[in-house]
Structure 1
Amino acid sequence: MARHKEFEISEVLDQAIHLFWEQGYEKTSMQELVEHMGIHRRSIYDTFGDKHALFMEALKRYSDIQNKKLVALVAKKEAVYPSLQRFLEITLEKENEPQGCFMVNSGVELGVLDSEVASFIEKAYDQTEELLYELIVHGQQKGEVSKSLDARELSYHFMNAWLGLRTMAKTATNKDKISSIIRNALRVLE
């Protein structure tokens, strides 16, 4: 008879995300995952597969959570400048999370070494760029952003600013410096 799972998959994945985010993939052992997730090693293997498969599920969950925030921001169809400002500022809001960005950290750690991780992160970044593009085009249609500016290139610009902020958030403590970077990134819309 099959044993009933005694845990919520999203909850244990959140625990795995936190540990991978804090330590990185390579430094995280299966024993640490067992202890941090609060489930048996066998349950990890039965539910997710090996450590790499668990890591990919953690990346997917993190990406989905981040994407929902961005989709909600774009769906509001509010003014483009404050929406983009909010998009950039979301990076800095951390509640009980490690510094930086799990996706960026993972890309830096494994992107060159692991084609599956690199491909996943590239697709996630492409989705974010597409959301930015939609937001900018909407701003152009409403007359908030000059149509002389290339919406696709602006989406690249804001994606680059966002990734830079997500990288800086790992070590930056000067909030004024971060605010200045956000203001200057937005200046391209003026």
Structure 2
Amino acid sequence: MGRHKAFDEKEVLKKAMELFWKQGYEKTSLQDLVDHMGIHRRSIYDTFGDKRALFLMSLAYYEEMLTNDLVKLMNAGGPSKEAIREVFSFTLNTAEYYPKGCLAVNAAVELSLLDKEIAQISTELFKKTERVFRYLIMKGQTSGELSKEIDPDAMSRFLHNNLLGLRVLIKTNYTKEELESIVDLTLSVLN
């Protein structure tokens, strides 16, 4: 008869995700994970596999969390410009209670040249965000809020590129006011 796990898998996975997010993959040792997750090394191997497998599960958890938040923003029902601004504001405000930046950006920068699977996962996360922007742009065009002259695909890539830059700058010493001014200028293209 197997032993009962004395921990919540989702909760310890969230802790692993946050540690990878804060420190990166290479800098995070298995001992760091043991200490931060509060479970034994053997439990990590038995439940999640090796460090790479745990990292991939952390990315999947992050994707689920991010997707849920983006879907809420998409379905909020307000004007499209306001919803697009909320995506940027969400990025600025989450730095207060999550590690700064974006786990997908960190993974892409640190590992995508070395690991094709992680490059693919990061790319798909980026494409999801672009699809959210595209949806909001098209919704705004349908309602008359946004010009039909806007190319939804090109604009969604532009907005996402700026969002990625914001996620990087959050990790530096830029002030919140400076970052908000970047958001204002970025979103001025929708006027």
TM-score (norm 1): 0.96
Query: Offset at 1:22?
Result: 1.5
- 2:24, 2:110 within 8 Å by CA — same for their partners in 1? yes
Local SS of the residue matching 1:21:
helix
Q: Deviations over 1:74-125 (max 9, x none)?
A: 1123101111111111111124322211221111111111111111011111
Q: Which residue matches 1:7?
A: 7
In structure 2, what is the Cα distance between the partners aligned to 1:99 and 1:80?
Answer: 26
| Closer, same or farther: CA 95–174 of 1 in aligned 2, 3 Å | closer
Amino acid aligned to 2:73:
L
Q: Which residue matches 2:68?
A: 68
Unaligned runs of 5+ in 1: none
In structure 2, what is the Cα distance between the partners aligned to 1:132 and 1:77?
Answer: 14
In structure 2, what is the Cα distance between the partners aligned to 1:110 and 1:179?
Answer: 29
- 1:88, 1:162 within 8 Å by CA — same for their partners in 2? yes
Q: Which residue matches 1:176?
A: 177
Query: Offset at 1:161?
Result: 1.1
Unaligned runs of 5+ in 2: none
Amino acid aligned to 1:48:
F
In structure 1, what is the Cα distance between the partners aligned to 2:26 and 2:49?
Answer: 17
- 1:77, 1:138 within 8 Å by CA — same for their partners in 2? no
Q: Which residue matches 1:54?
A: 54
Query: Offset at 1:5?
Result: 1.1
Q: Which residue matches 2:147?
A: 146
Q: How many residues align?
A: 190
In structure 2, what is the Cα distance between the partners aligned to 1:98 and 1:75?
Answer: 26
- 1:101, 1:170 within 8 Å by CA — same for their partners in 2? no
In structure 2, what is the Cα distance between the partners aligned to 1:22 and 1:125?
Answer: 19
Local SS of the residue matching 1:25:
coil
5 Å-filtered alignment, 1:19-30, equals 19-30=19-30
Q: Identity of paired residues, percent?
A: 45
In structure 2, what is the Cα distance between the partners aligned to 1:83 and 1:175?
Answer: 20
- 2:101, 2:170 within 8 Å by CA — same for their partners in 1? yes
In structure 2, what is the Cα distance between the partners aligned to 1:164 and 1:18?
Answer: 20
Q: Deviations over 1:29-53 (max 9, x none)?
A: 1111111101111111111111000
In structure 1, what is the Cα distance between the partners aligned to 2:8 and 2:154?
Answer: 42
- 1:21, 1:105 within 8 Å by CA — same for their partners in 2? yes
